[in-house]
Structure 1
């Protein structure tokens, strides 16, 4: 566990990214050389779950070790319970669970406390437990699904706010996470401003392209746009500015 300070996220950035799909974000990040930003296994627990945006608050599990992964560990100073009390409002808890699907990292009581503290969501490459209870808390969750056994049946919790692996993606504290129906995507903190600007531009372009497709336009030269269509798009942007 480290003492990395949780940074606030500008509400204007949250609003901007809430209007951008994770599909668009992966395209923008790919154009800037980042291919591995979609966290595998992070599916919305509820279909149609709204998009959420927040700074990553990281938590890390390692394989279960019998002398450490015990119910008594839940009262340890280094525990999932203690980690929740360190989570700031507006963050997204990103939990590296090594893709384990037969031990639930969090259940209804822990999710209820997270929701009470204003946590924006939970993203994990693992699973949760107490499904009906978790759904009842109102906390948005992205995970591989659910399992009845507790975390200590297959995992050992070792700390929070340190670099983790979640779904094959390196996640650092205070990176930005956007999660929607396609899963969760990571934006490196240092690239945030650039990505927001580029993503908004990409969304505008794709909105225009979709309008052209709906009007019967053919795809070659339109998607991506050639020089003539770039000029038409620029005129459309100027008209709708």
Structure 2
């Protein structure tokens, strides 16, 4: 039995704003906005299984619907990350895929492109974050170009095995090689902000709490 990824467990305890601050401090890319949560509730975290979609002929081999290979490779510590930036309005994800992923225990889906059947994903309580919504099928419009190949999500390149965190503020991608230092930095930021919250609750004026120390916190 596969052991849970300890980095994923730590990432689940953080919100996107804290991790965004950590990336700022470390001068690393990875924050993507404009991919709102369309279904499911709450934060998701996991390792990326990527799916690249595009136009033209699919790769040679047996015919398979887009996303199926990724779902069959995924589990609770995974998020499926889909690139559909072809310019063709066509679903990059749909209802049967949401059901299949839900059955596998997949943490969720992030799609830079439109998704369809979102009411089904809502009914399944399956988390989907996407650039847009559509009713148009992928059939005859876009095909899968590869699974676990590099994909472009906004201006961030994501590889299979990278780490993903998503909530209502943003979607964040962290290269596997950077995950430990990003987590360490974000956890330190959370501790500092927790102390500030306690000070505010204890009656310290907010202007005093959020003074020079707060403004320069990411430079320390």
TM-score of the superposition, structure 2-length normalised?
0.84
| Match status 1:58 vs 2:58 | no
Does structure 2 conserve the Cα–Cα contact (< 8 Å) formed by 1:39 and 1:183?
yes
RMSD of Structure 2 on Structure 1 (CA): 2.6
Aligned partner of 2:31 in structure 1 is: 38
Aligned partner of 1:16 in structure 2 is: 10
| Match status 1:134 vs 2:121 | yes
Does structure 2 conserve the Cα–Cα contact (< 8 Å) formed by 1:101 and 1:146?
no
Quote the Cα distance in structure 2 between the aligned partners of 1:100 and 1:23.
30
Match of 1:221 among 197, 212, 217: 212
Aligned partner of 1:189 in structure 2 is: 176
**Higher strand proportion (structure 1 or 2):** 2
- List alignment gaps of at least 5 residues for structure 1: 1-6, 231-241
Quote the Cα distance in structure 2 between the aligned partners of 1:152 and 1:144.
19
Flag the structure with larger Rg: 1
TM-score of the superposition, structure 1-length normalised?
0.77
CA shift for structure 1 position 90: 2.1
Quote the Cα distance in structure 2 between the aligned partners of 1:99 and 1:25.
30
Count how many residue pairs are aligned between Structure 1 and Structure 2: 211
**Residue range with higher mean Cα deviation, 120-129 or 212-221:** 212-221
In structure 2, relative to structure 1, the CA distance for the partners of 1:8 and 1:33 (3 Å cut) is farther
Quote the Cα distance in structure 2 between the aligned partners of 1:99 and 1:213.
49
Quote the Cα distance in structure 2 between the aligned partners of 1:26 and 1:221.
20
